[in-house]
A and B are shown apart, each in its own frame.
Chain A
Amino acid sequence: MFLRKTIIALTGLFLCIFLIVHLSANSILVLPEEMARGLYNSYSTTLRESPLIKIVAYVLYLSIVLHVIYALLIVLNNRKAKSKRYLLNRNRENSSWTSQNMGLLGIMILLFIVVHLANFWARIKLGLGENVALDANGHVDVYEVTYSLFRNIYYVVFYTILMIPLGLHLNHGLKSAFKTLGFYHKKGLRVLAKISLVYAAVMAVGFGLIPFIVFLK
């Protein structure tokens, strides 16, 4: 179980770093169109063509898969350990709702990831669905893919709402990962709790707001 928890923590932390990079790239989208289109498309072309990024991408896929699989194994084992439930359980008085529902939040995020991959990854990388045009510089027009997706208000709402579970999951997950790995500095943990909160808020608000800005532009 310790090994499983360690894997969940390490993959989780890697995904946390990935999100920072992802959000930074996304913020290009809110720039004025003339700048944003070229920058965003050349950025994504660079990513796709870099062999180093290819390796990182595989680590990323693997991280998501391992994070999910090992979380599932841990949940199943924990369920077995708590085979009988209480008739009355006031766990809200001793712990946060988030910490009690990481699995549920994780499932919501997974659902988001599936839709998100279908929207972008499947079209651009796998070439499924509608053909993606090239921009003036001959780069794949990922900018256009994004903007056409977020002209649809349903997608905007979906992308925004599902950032709430993401934020909650990150807030509990980031600080817990450190504890799982054995970080037990008292003051450090207090700082870490604040960092987790700020990090989670920035991620949730950042990712959640950009589709709206794109929609309104």
Chain B
Amino acid sequence: MKIVFKIWRQVNSKSQGGFETYEVDGLTEDMSFLEALDYLNERLVQRNEKVIAYEYDCREGICGQCGVFINGRAHGPHDNITTCQLHMRSFKDGETVVVEPWRAAAFPVIKDLVVDRSAFDRIIEQGGYISARTGTAAEANAILVGKEVVDRAMDAAACIGCGACVATCKNASAALFTAAKINHLNSLPQGKPEASNRVLEMTRQMELEGFGSCTFTGACEVECPEEIPMINIAEMNARRVKAKWLGK
């Protein structure tokens, strides 16, 4: 099949950048989107042109590296998947496909489709961990946790930090990411001792990084590959109010 790619090219974070058009013939429907980009890059190498930079690692939807904005949607036209889980059969033969890097002031473009997501790391550094020793698996199993609590914590813990929530949000808000990390740890007994500091410090860092505020458009939960629901943001808000005004 043939696809006309319109891809954002940018030499480095300081340069202007702009769209380049590439007509690519010889793709097959069962190629993943990343394989199609690989294929295009091979052609570029043959023509002695600079290859397109984009990120990936696992190519099976678990690492969260492969975030790009495809045809107006984070990770392409389907809900709740990563780019590596997208296949060329989702496009029509001859279709023009626009590929852009995540857009957010807090995610500056490094090169082409690669953005700097270290703002997420700095939010994690403010409390997205527990500092107590949890011991071995056997010891962990000795702490009783209700099924409902476990399920909710696990759902939030599924976040792979891909940044699609920020990318799709018109406010570039990192509320869903931050909420997932906070709720995951704060709902479990191991996370309780540091719960209030965690929510205050992580939300503070979120704002310092220059992410916008959540206005509940709900786009994030539709694009999140892990289907983390927006209700987590309301829960984070509640935890923040409690931590701030009741000190717990």
Contact = CB atoms under 8 A, between A and B. Distances in A.
Are A and B bound to each other? yes
Contacts of A180: 214, 216, 234, 237
Given A2-B203, A89-B72, A180-B237, A82 B215 contact: no
A90 B167 CA distance: 12
Interface residues of B, number: 46
A87 interface: yes
B213 A94 contact: no
Contacts, number: 125
Contact of A184 (B6, B69, B218, B231): B231
Given A81-B104, A81-B106, A82-B104, A91 B168 contact: yes
B231 A78 contact: no
B105 A99 contact: no
A93 B216 contact: no
A114 interface: no
Interface string A67-88: 0000000100110111111111
B79 A94 contact: yes
B173 A182 contact: no
B72 A90 contact: yes
Contact of A87 (B19, B203, B231): B19
Contacts of B210: 80-81
B102 to A, nearest CB: 10
Contacts of B240: 2, 182
Given A77-B213, A94-B73, A86 B218 contact: no
Contacts of A186: 231
Interface in B32-87: 69, 71-73, 77, 79
B238 interface: yes
Interface residues of A, number: 38
Interface string B184-226: 0000000000000000000100010011111111110011000
A117 interface: no
A180 B171 CA distance: 15
Interface string A96-121: 10011010000000000000000000
A52 interface: no
B117 interface: no
Contacts of A102: 215
B223 A78 contact: no
A179 interface: yes
B232 to A, nearest CB: 8
A94 B222 contact: yes
A75 to B, nearest CB: 9
Contacts of A178: 234
A82 B171 contact: yes
B104 A95 contact: no
Given A176-B216, A189-B234, A182 B171 contact: no
Interface in A151-189: 172, 175-176, 178-184, 186, 189
Closest 4 CB pairs of A and B: A182-B238, A90-B72, A81-B212, A78-B171
